[in-house]
């Protein structure tokens, strides 16, 4: 298996633009997580899905952020409009076993820079 | 507020010596704790975990200790190797498989 796939790996955009980050989880994994990594706060959970349904979005910073999972093999995280403080590395992770859901497999991340 | 804290942003250790990374948490309801390791330009990878009913778990050179009364856990790496140089994240498992991570500690192991 190729592991969790994220695209793009790097994104540079101007303030006010819409940004869409993409994730393909490992096949068969029913849980999908979106995280954001910053120096100050480390890894923060933004939202997670189980069987394509959002379970907990309490970590989503504000209404500018939205996430979807239209099918078991694809998820998007959208920021509209983007702001400089959104600059961070965004990770997607997945796991298959609800009893060991805490052992998550991470993608390589998308480094977002908003100027 | 941070429920999981790693107060040391960096640690430098000589090759062959012990590395000790520390983590504190605030929620006594956490039932599982994990350490993840992250190399530059890669995603974090699972390293070792411990259940809240145990106080020690060992896997090769890596040992995690849990002190529930102090709400503290630590990761020991013995002996440390240059390839261990990475950022280490402590995490706690909350309801539904949700992980709450600390800020990370960057370990540098010098030859």
Q: What is the pLDDT of residues A11-35, one digit of tens each?
A: 999 999 999 999 999 999 989 999 9
What is the predicted pLDDT for the residue at A70? 96
- Dist. CA A87–CA A83, nearest whole Å: 8
Given a contact cutoff of 8 angstroms between Cβ atoms, the answer to whether B76 and B20 are in contact is yes
What pLDDT is attached to residue A99?
Answer: 67
Backbone angles phi, psi at A90, to 5 degrees: -110, 125
Which residues 5-64 in chain B show a CB within 8 A of chain A?
A: 6, 32, 34, 36, 41-46, 49
Residues in chain A with pLDDT < 50?
Answer: none
Nearest-CB residue to A108 (from B42, B96, B104): B42
Query: What pLDDT, on a 0 to 100 scale, did the predictor assign at position A98?
Result: 63
- State percent of chain B over pLDDT 70: 98
Tokens 């896997």 belong to residue? B59
Give the chain B residue nearest A111 (alpha carbons): B41
- Closest-approach residue (CA) in chain B for A58: B98
Three-state SS for A18? coil
> Rounded CA gap, A18 and A79, in Å?
6
pLDDT for the residue numbered A41:
83
Closest by Cα among B33, B21, B24, B19 to B5: B24
CB distance B36 to B44 below 8 Å: yes
- pLDDT value at position A97? 76
Q: Rounded to an integer, what distance in angstroms lies between the CA atom of residue B30 and that of residue B22?
A: 17
Say whether pLDDT at B58 is over 70.
yes
* Tens-place pLDDT, residues B63-89: 999 999 999 999 999 999 999 999 999
Residue A40 has what pLDDT? 81
Q: Does A94 touch chain B (CB under 8 A)?
A: no
In chain B, which residues have their Cβ closer than 8 Å to the Cβ of A107? 43
Give Cα B48 distance to the centre of its chain: 8
């Amino acid at each position: 298996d190729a592991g969790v796939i994220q695209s793009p790996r790097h994104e540079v955009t101007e303030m006010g633009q819409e940004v869409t980050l993409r994730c393909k989880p490992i096949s068969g994994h029913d849980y999908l997580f979106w995280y954001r990594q910053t120096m100050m706060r480390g890894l923060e959970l933004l939202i997670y899905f189980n069987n394509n349904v959002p379970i907990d979005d309490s970590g989503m910073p504000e209404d500018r952020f939205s996430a979807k999972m239209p099918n078991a093999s694809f998820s998007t995280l959208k920021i509209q409009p983007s702001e400089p403080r959104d600059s961070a590395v965004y990770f997607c992770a997945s796991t298959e076993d609800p009893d060991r859901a805490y052992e998550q497999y991470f993608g390589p991340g998308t480094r977002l820079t908003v100027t | 507020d941070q429920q999981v804290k790693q107060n040391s942003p960096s640690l430098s250790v000589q090759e062959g010596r012990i590395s000790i990374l520390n983590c504190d948490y605030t929620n006594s309801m956490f039932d599982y704790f994990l350490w993840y390791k992250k190399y530059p330009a890669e995603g974090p990878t699972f390293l070792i975990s411990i259940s809240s009913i145990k106080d020690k778990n060992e896997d090769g050179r890596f040992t995690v200790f849990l002190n529930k009364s102090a709400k503290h856990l630590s990761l020991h790496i013995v002996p440390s190797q240059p390839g261990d140089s990475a950022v280490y994240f402590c995490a706690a498992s909350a309801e539904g498989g949700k992980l709450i991570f600390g800020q990370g500690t960057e370990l540098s192991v010098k030859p």
